[in-house]
Every structure is written in structure tokens, then in C-alpha cells.
Amino acid sequence: MARGNFSQVTEFILLGLSDARELQLVFFTFFLLAYTMVLLGNLLIIVTVRTDPKLSSPIYFLLCNLSFIDICCTSVTVPRVLVALLSGHKAIAFEGCMAQLFFLHFVGSSEMFLLTVMAFDRYTAICRPLHYTAIMAPEACWALVAACWAGGFIHSIVQTLLTLQLPFCGPNTIHGYFCDVPPVVRLACTDTALTEWLMASNSGLISLGCFLVLVASYALILAKVGARLSQGRWKALSTCASHVMVVTLFFVPCIFIYLRPSGTLPSDKYVCVIYTILSPVMNPLIYTLRSKEVKESMWRLWKR
């Protein structure tokens, strides 16, 4: 990767969440358990959906892709955090930092777009059931997923190129456990006000826009089922409420981090834990394992 002019920094120091050895052991246990849950839960969902022909509806295809993205998202940051907590080695090469930054935004923004597509799928299934098969045809699902990945790549490459053109010749300490755009950009030895605003407009507005679309879609779903039988209404309310909860866990921290081009706050590194760790852990539980069809398919897979 080409660096900005006059860059002298060859590595960055990731301070992590705490310097206390006792807390580092607690964080290691937490990250290890969370990562194990993400891997096992999402791999189980992928295998179940791929092996059971009964789970062939578009929503399960989208959920399978969400599980794959969650595995990628946590794998970008957590394995290195675990190694650093065990070894105490906090340095990361400049090239490794830029690669981590790129892939984090690539899979993170792809997940934002995919969650929006999933909300559109649910809106179509509930509010336009007669047109659902035509709208969410297999070709359309593949095209929507491809668009999510393409949108994530474009977003990430813009963020990475804006970062690479900056010169780094002074401080190299990052107050966090992974390389991200805001803390890295603030280490540049030049005026980064314009760059920060451009990046905030990119990441922040994408996060805010997708979140508002998701909330609006669930509001429309609830308004549509409001006049139906009480049993169906409460089921839809329960489903939408759980989805909004996990969506909020993912989007609100992202909006907090990326929509403000100001200085780093001490709480930022803890806020990042929510959307990089907790949200991927919650996604399988909320989106998939609450489904009766999925649980029955998992039971059949277990018996085989």
C-alpha cells in the first residue's frame, strides 16, 4: 500500500482496553467466549440453511449471508486482540493497520446494507405478500446481496485511500484495540479537518441513513399488522421489537463513532465493543434461533 508523503511511521501501538493485568485476563476471557459463540452460532446457521431444502425462502438466504459477514467482521479484529492480550505485544505494522481498517469497513458497511435489504424483505413479505415471490425472486436476492458487497467495497476503498494519502510522522499511539479511521486519521501530522468531515459524511451518513430506513420499515410493518388479529399483531410486535433492539445495538454506536469529526473520547473504545462483538453475538440469537423453522431444521440435522 502506498503511503502519504513524508510518512515516517512504520507501526502503530494499540493500547487496548486496559493496562491492568487482571482486567486483561477478564477481557481475554470475554473476547474468547464471544468469538467462540460467533463462530459456532453462525457456522451452525450456515450449515443448517445450506443443507435443509425447506429453508429456501429469501429471508434464510439473506440470514446465511449475514452469518458469513458476522464471522468475517469479528475475525478482522478479535484474533489479533486475543494474541495481543496473551503476548503483551501491542504493535501493528502500518500495512497491517491499513489492511485491518479496509476489511473492517468493507464487511461492516456490507452488513449495514444487508440489514437494510433484510428489512425490505420483511416489509415486502408482510405488506405486499401477493407480490413477494416476484419481487424477491432468487435472481433479485443474488443481485441485492452483490450490491451490498459492492457498496461495502466502494465505501471501504474511499475510506482507505483518504487515510493513505495522509502523512504520519509523529505520534503512533491508538487508544483502542483495533485500527479504525477516526483514531488513525487524528495521528496524521497535518490538518485533517476536511478529511475528517469527508469521512464523517461517508461513514456517519451511511450509518444514519440505513438506520432510519430500518426503523421506518419496521414502523410500516407494525402499522400494517395493527388492524389484524391480536395474536398476529403481538407476534409481529415481538419480532419487530427484537429486530429493532439488535439493529440499535449495531447502528447507534456506529453513528456515535463516525458521525462526529471531533476528538477521541475515552468511552470510544468501549462503545466499539458493542458493534464489533456484542452485535455479532446477538444476531444469530435474534434473527435466526428464534425461528421455529430453523430450530426444527437444526434438530433434524442433529439427529442425522
**Domains and their CATH numbers in the chain:** 11-303 (1.20.1070.10)
Does 32 score more than 80 pLDDT?
yes
Position 228 scores a pLDDT of 58
The whole-angstrom separation of Cα 46 and Cα 63 is 8
Does 264 score more than 70 pLDDT?
no
Position 82 scores a pLDDT of 92
The whole-angstrom separation of Cα 239 and Cα 202 is 31
Does 255 score more than 80 pLDDT?
yes
**Locus of grid cell 395493527:** 226
Position 261 scores a pLDDT of 64
The whole-angstrom separation of Cα 84 and Cα 43 is 25
Residues 213-243: tens digit of each pLDDT = 988 888 888 777 765 555 555 666 666 677 7
For residue 252, CA distances in Å to 139, 179, 245, 269 come to: 32, 20, 10, 14
- Strands of 173-174's sheet, edge to edge? 91-93, 11-14, 173-174
